Chain A
Amino acid sequence: MAYISIWTLTRDVISTVFWGIVKLIFWPPIYQFVIIPGLVAALVVVISIIWFERKAAARVQMRYGPLEVSPKLAGYLQLFADLIRYSFQEIIIPRTADIIPFITSPFFALLLSLLPLAVIPVSPVKWTWPLTLSAMRYSVLIAAALTTLSPIFIVAMGWASNNRFSTIGSMRESFLITAYELSAIIGIFSVVATVHSFDFTNIVNFQGGGKWLGLINPIALLAAFIATLISTSAFPFEISDAENEIVAGPFTEYSGLMYGVNMGTAYIKRWAMSVLIVLAFLGGWRPYIPPPNAGYIAGYLVPSLIVSAKAVVVMALMSFLRAVYGRYRIDQALHISWKYVFALAIAGFGLGILEGYLL
């Protein structure tokens, strides 16, 4: 009679459960959507970036910024305090609001701004790809398409709030959507022209050896960068929720947790766009090349962290602009995006085609 040790059994059960959890975590759709670069990473990054934004602006402005909440951590816990306060504050739903879109839009906007992260590769290892191989060949296309979804819900928010400032804000947002999307997508697609592939993996692999596409084709990078600024209402294009003109734009009527979600959405969108820019222009996970049949750590965690680190730098750069710039007027922003940024994007695309022909 075979004697089964209780310890062996326990060990087996524990290891099965452990590896099961690990497998679940590293299951590409979960990992990318929820962990890195998805929700969890995005939250951590957003909290750090908002903190950085406030501290960096404060440095330029001869002061300290958030501090007293945790003087030893230079006020890093500030955003947690804000988050807790938001989460437990009363949620007011105005009687005149259109309740269903009013309540659901913030969450849809949040989820949809995360979606592009679920379809991009963050590692060249095949099993880590969140889509099937055939779909992966068009990952640039799919990601670009998904970035355009969330603004619709921001417009819906403004409409559902039934507030004059919200209406003006959502009107501005809808103007801006049309203005930046084309430039952003053309800017990112210029790399497609260079590499002759819609696959992010090929694009990143192309950028090996310091041959970053951002260096080869800086015009397209600039166009994509500015388009990202416009799309995420960062300075100097903080127009749809310009505080001094239209209070908080589409978010004027939101309170408590729902405003917290809204505030996060813009930053999460900026995060998603930054990750796309990193993959397309800044070498993705390069210079690190994982071995072809690498495991969870070497094949998935490390490259995704490298991508995230690069994206954080891009975001920090975007955040620093708050300290230097004011905001444009809506017509000037449209003027800039159609006349200059679009032209830049087209020029970048042309350059991309030329380079694709030459290289």
Chain B
Amino acid sequence: MIIDMQSSEVPRLNMSSWEIGESRYLPGMEIKKLGKEKFVVYIGPQHPGSGHMRIIIKVDGDVIVEADPDLGYVHRTMEKLSEGRAYIKIIPLVERMAILDACNATLPYVEAVEKLLGLEAPERAKYLRVALCEINRIASHLYGFGIFGVFLGHSTMYMWGFGDREILVELAEKLTGARLTHTYPIFGGVRRDAPQNFTDNLRKAIRYLRKRLEDYRRMFLDNPVIRKRLEGVGIVSKRAATDLGLVGPNLRASGVEYDVRAVEPYEAYDEFDFEIPVFEEGDSLARAWVRVEEIKQSLRILEQVADKLDKTKGQQIMHDRFWAKVPPLYKKVFEAEGRVKLMPLFAILRVPKGRAFARTEAGRGEITYYIESDGKDKPYRVRIVSPSYRNAIMFKYAIPGHRVADLPAIYGSFDYFPPEADR
């Protein structure tokens, strides 16, 4: 049998043979058959309502009958590039897929390599990782709210979201030395110790953010105009969410109880007392509310982390394998600046042969890494599946049946971040 790679037998798009969830259509919507006079509208990539992607929609009047997401406008071939680079160089590389959620994006990679190396970070390093992860999660949700505000024409929400995000960015900057691209977790630990007044500042920020969440509710979530736009829009049932394999807040807004922090607690997440909010409605409003509740829980985690950080002050933040035999200059620098100097062996780190799979809960949902090592200083294969990529399928199935004006509302509620999806 000869296979022609570009054969014409590639099946074409055929909506009618599709079934999602329990019914053929998403609840409350009926997909009309496209008439002769179809009107194709290209939303993006230079379009305010699309970000850096394109959605090709076919409209019948004002109702979208078909949506075809066209991804890849920020596809930077991270998987291929990582096959040619040393392990440590991949950390900043994969970080770029979600720089607003940097720690969460790199952590599973670091974990996977740590699994292969057979080492685990020291206690304080774990707390620092959790601290940065939660800071990033809140910052990422606030970013999402900001963009959501823009999509609904609510410029104040954008400004408030970005303004309050600056507090978290400032915290992260004080901790890691960079605003967004922290490159913080590293094999065996983290790169910097917390500065002197970090926990005090953290507590102040938590108090302020708690107060602001109430403002958000009054201004944005309970605002009748916004509610009207979100309520009952883009409903995804529990079954559909499972079938489509959604992740993160979008999944939990549809009533599925899944969060990697609870299912397979990584780092120090099993030591903290927190809840994971789950909403039943599955519409855009529920997706927005899930994030608000998650911010509240993240603040709760951060409070506990602050206590733990105070308790473990002065402890080692690097695994013994990379820290026991370092020259005295390294320890002097660590004591003076809290900066972990790296052994030159990091540049040519060889990882034992094997395969590892790691998953963590990033701001937008579960992020998974599959790493295969053949014993050399470069990985044989790195497979990254990011939350936005798994959520991208929603555009195809959740948008048809809605009006053109609902597209930004649904897009915003997914909190979709194209660089993360395209990798």
Binding site for B on A (CB under 8 A): 57, 60-63, 164-165, 168, 171, 235-236, 238-239, 242-247, 322-332
Name the CB-closest residue of A to B409. Answer: A329
Contact partner, B152, options A239, A326, A332, Cβ 8 Å: A326
Are A63 and B159 in contact (CB-based, < 8 A)? yes
Are B226 and A324 in contact (CB-based, < 8 A)? no
Name the CB-closest residue of A to B226. Answer: A326
Q: Which of B47, B157, B407 lies at the interface centre, i.e. has the most chain A CB atoms within 10 A of its CB?
A: B47
- For this complex, 19 residue pairs linking A to B, each with C-beta atoms less than 8 Å apart, are A168-B41, A171-B62, A242-B405, A243-B153, A244-B153, A244-B408, A245-B49, A247-B47, A247-B48, A322-B155, A323-B156, A324-B156, A324-B219, A324-B223, A326-B157, A326-B225, A330-B62, A331-B403, A332-B228
- Apart from A63-B159, A325-B225, A328-B229, 20 more pairs, CB < 8 Å: A57-B155, A60-B156, A61-B159, A168-B404, A244-B49, A244-B153, A244-B408, A245-B404, A245-B408, A323-B156, A324-B156, A326-B152, A326-B157, A326-B225, A328-B228, A329-B403, A329-B409, A330-B62, A330-B403, A332-B229
Are B41 and A326 in contact (CB-based, < 8 A)? no
Q: What's the A-B contact tally at a CB cutoff of 8 Å?
A: 84
Are B49 and A329 in contact (CB-based, < 8 A)? no
Name the CB-closest residue of A to B158. Answer: A61
A-facing residues in B1-44 (Cβ within 8 Å): 39, 41-42
- Listed from nearest, the 7 A-B pairs whose CB atoms lie closest are A61-B159, A326-B154, A327-B153, A326-B152, A329-B405, A244-B49, A326-B153
Are B156 and A244 in contact (CB-based, < 8 A)? no
CB distance from B48 to the nearest CB of A (A): 5
Contact partners of A62 in chain B: CB under 8 A: 159-160, 163
Contact partner, A329, options B39, B157, B159, B229, Cβ 8 Å: B229
Contact partners of A327 in chain B: CB under 8 A: 152-153, 225, 229
Contact with A along B275-317 (1 / 0, CB 8 A): 0000000000000000000000000000000000000000000
Are B404 and A164 in contact (CB-based, < 8 A)? no
A140 to B155, CA, bound (A): 37
A247 to B219, CA, bound (A): 25
CB distance from A143 to the nearest CB of B (A): 30
Are B150 and A325 in contact (CB-based, < 8 A)? no
Interface size class of B (residues with CB under 8 A): 20 to 34
On whether A244 and B151 interact (CB within 8 A), knowing A329-B405, A330-B405, the answer reads yes
Q: Which of A247, A325, A326, A329 lies at the interface centre, i.e. has the most chain B CB atoms within 10 A of its CB?
A: A326
Q: In this assembly, does B149 line the interface, its C-beta being within 8 Å of a C-beta of chain A?
A: yes
Contact partners of A164 in chain B: CB under 8 A: 39, 41-42
Q: In this assembly, does B60 line the interface, its C-beta being within 8 Å of a C-beta of chain A?
A: no
Are B163 and A244 in contact (CB-based, < 8 A)? no
A328 to B231, CA, bound (A): 12
On whether A326 and B408 interact (CB within 8 A), knowing A63-B159, A331-B403, A332-B228, the answer reads no
Are A238 and B404 in contact (CB-based, < 8 A)? no
Q: In this assembly, does B66 line the interface, its C-beta being within 8 Å of a C-beta of chain A?
A: no
Contact partner, A245, options B149, B160, B407, Cβ 8 Å: B407
Contact partner, B153, options A168, A235, A247, Cβ 8 Å: A235
Contact with A along B47-82 (1 / 0, CB 8 A): 111000000000000100000000000000000000
Contact partners of A168 in chain B: CB under 8 A: 41, 62, 404
Contact partners of B372 in chain A: CB under 8 A: none
Name the CB-closest residue of A to B59. Answer: A168
Name the CB-closest residue of B to A62. Answer: B163
Q: In this assembly, does B193 line the interface, its C-beta being within 8 Å of a C-beta of chain A?
A: no
A208 to B385, CA, bound (A): 72
Contact partners of B405 in chain A: CB under 8 A: 239, 242, 245, 329-330
A-facing residues in B133-192 (Cβ within 8 Å): 149-157, 159-160, 163
